[in-house]
Amino acid sequence: MRIALPALIVLVSLHGSAQTPALKEAFRGDFLIGAAINTRQTEEKDTAAARLIPRQFDALTPENIMKAEIMHPAWDRYNFDPADKLVAYAQRNHIKVNAHNLIWHSQLPTFLRRMQDADSVRAYFVNHITTIASRYDGQVYSWDVVNEALNEDGTLRNSIFLKKLGPDYIVEAFRLAQKAAPHTRLYYNDYNIEQPKKRAGAIALIKKIQAAGVRIDGVGIQGHWKSGNVPLAAIEASILEFSALGVEVMFTELDLSVLPNPWDHNTADVGQVAANRAGMNPYTNGLPDSAQDLLASSYADLFRLFLRHKGKISRITFWGIDDGMSWLNDFPIRGRTNYPLPFDRNYQPKKAYFAIIATKNP
């Protein structure tokens, strides 16, 4: 029996109830439900988040603490403490960790950005992957081995790794990770790879890794889209084309912005910024019902699509726990008030949450 959305809202308490399951329970057997988590949440300093996270999610991705600038701040020094705390937190709560990430062109340590010598970059590359991946093998479920290596046209991004190590650096990253972490799933992660040109580049990349005899277990489509304008046809085509390669498909950084896009294109490149102007921050006093409804219907459309292909999808991860911690409050314009996630700034479930749950009762 299909439950009308208003009735479903009445039935559910703050983080789910006996009548309506939590997200991870609703989709158990379909795919993991994950979220990005920050250090305040890992250390359980936020009591509301501490109650919500183990109730709602069975997978976590560290938002920043396993990125190179934090984990490997100096040539001969690693900072493992925040990641160790994350792993311990996940183990206590029986949650799987997707480690994020080993190789990315952004958020690099200062010493690496200043390197000019290719041999030094290669030494960093080998030591970084080997040291970190081996340390957490068997403790984390998976790694985003390489993150955002493609341009919008599907060609390789002109990163320090491409310039200093050449076009085979991605294959080599997976080869090193496979050796260092034989018990860990290995993924490629990127945004906009549901779009045809960039998708073709990702497919070529996966095939190249496979042809080299190197293991790649899955591909993560980030899912930074716009409420009311989710590219469902392109997403479905991507699920089919990527899964045909014999790899898992995941949606790894899902959020649906409700704010105006200052550009005529979609990007999640953190290096791009836009100037604020009139009309760019319309919901500082709250999200109106019409926008709440549009967000809810957009999430429902997405999850109905995910459920149609649940045998091909292994994980859905929201990029954040609640609206207040979303990176979209500061991207691509700083200081805006966005509402892209199923939980609001007080960790209360929104209409979007109930719409997602309701897709299990068509």
The active-site residue out of 63, 172, 248, 253 is 253
The active-site residue out of 25, 69, 148, 241 is 148
253 is catalytic: yes
Looking only at the bridges linking them, the beta strands covering 96-104 and 185-190 are: unpaired
Which residues, listed in sequence order, are joined to residue 14 by a DSSP beta bridge? 16
| Three-class SS state of 134 | helix
> How many H-runs (helices) and E-runs (strands) does the chain carry?
14, 9
Q: Which long-range contacts (CB under 8 A, 24 or more apart) does 293-297 make?
A: 293/351, 294/227, 294/228, 294/258, 295/227, 295/256, 295/258, 295/339, 295/340, 295/350, 295/351, 295/352, 296/5, 296/350, 296/351, 296/352, 296/354, 296/355, 297/355
Structure tokens given for 277: 């102007």
Instruction: Report the 3 state secondary structure along 209-265.
Output: HHHCCCCCCEEEECCEEECCCCCHHHHHHHHHHHHCCCCEEEEEEEEEECCCCCCCC
Let me know: does 72 contact 132? Beta carbons within 8 Å. Answer: yes
Residue with tokens 């080998």: 126
Structural Rg of the chain based on CA atoms: 20
How far does Cα 275 stand from its chain's mean position? 26
Structure tokens given for 250: 């995941």
| Three-class SS state of 249 | strand
Q: Whole-angstrom Cα distance, residue 314 to residue 335?
A: 34
Residues known to be catalytic: 148, 253
